[in-house]
Amino acid sequence: MRAGLRSQNKLLYAIFDFDFSMMLPPEVNRSKFRLPFYESWGSFNVTTDTAQGEFDFNPFVTDVGALGVLFCHNYQVRAALTIYDTTCALTTCLSLSMKPYTREIPILAPFLDRMTTRDLARRFTASEALDFLEAASSRLTEHDLRLRLPTISPVLEAIYYKFDRWANLPPEFVEKWAHYREPPIPLTTKVLRSICGTKWGGRVLPLIRLFFSRALSLVRYALAFLAGLGNRIRLTLIVFTSPGVVL
């Protein structure tokens, strides 16, 4: 039925975006486009891109990060159910634990780390993530493709920036992909997140950082202007003091 309705142009599609979407001109520079920090607030933002008091953000970068977080929640860990006997009590016990999916699919570790990295300049773009995933898929063996893994239960979701996806991976693999591995969260980042977690910090800290950013830009502009002015003065003095110059 759907195919027939589409061929007759009687089928319409709609997207519920909860008023979060925006229309941008096609020529917009995606690498430099910015929105104010408060535009990142809402149910859709599951990243920490503006959790340190950033005063603006790139929605295209944050979008990739949000997809990476979703992948982490679904593929970074799985439930492991262990059944064992306690012979003394003559009873059977169950143990439920979390084990990384990356033990079966190691390439998920660098893939998920690069999609959610705090270094936004190094985070995958959407096309880079797709290229990486397609290249990784082409290297999978027939055994890998037939591997069946249980889906994760929502109660077992681990926070994406705290979970160690590289645990117990082969040392040679970790060494090969070390440049993709996300480093531990520095103390300064933890402090900024704590401040932004307060009622006033989430609004005041971005404004403070914006003030210092603009002040620093003004200082750099002034220094560049003075340096240029000094070069012009030196050039003028050289011209006037050079022998053989006719004024």
3-state secondary structure (DSSP) of residue 179: helix
Report yes or no on 113 lying in a domain: yes
157-171 pLDDT per residue, tens: 578 898 888 988 999
Report yes or no on 13 lying in a domain: yes
Average pLDDT, the chain: 80
232-243 pLDDT per residue, tens: 777 666 655 655
Report the domain count for the chain. Answer: 1
pLDDT of residue 93: 45
Report yes or no on 77 lying in a domain: yes
Q: Which amino acid is at 71?
A: F
Q: Which domain holds residue 49?
A: 2-185
**In 3D, which of 56, 58, 101 has the Cα closest to residue 209?**
56
Report yes or no on 216 lying in a domain: no
113 has a pLDDT exceeding 70: yes
Rounded distance, CA 122 to CA 118, Å? 8
Angle (deg, nearest 10), helices 108-116 and 59-75: 150
pLDDT of residue 89: 46
Report yes or no on 122 lying in a domain: yes
Report yes or no on 135 lying in a domain: yes
Report yes or no on 214 lying in a domain: no
pTM above 0.85, yes or no: no
Share of the chain above pLDDT 90, in %: 39
User: How confident is residue 39, by pLDDT bands cut at 50, 70 and 90?
Assistant: confident
**Which residue, chain included where needed, has tokens 């607030």?**
41
Q: How close are the terminal C-alpha atoms of the chain, in Å?
A: 90
180-222 pLDDT per residue, tens: 999 999 999 999 999 999 989 989 999 999 999 999 989 988 8
29 has a pLDDT exceeding 70: yes
Angle (deg, nearest 10), helices 108-116 and 126-138: 180
Report yes or no on 247 lying in a domain: no
Rounded distance, CA 169 to CA 151, Å? 21
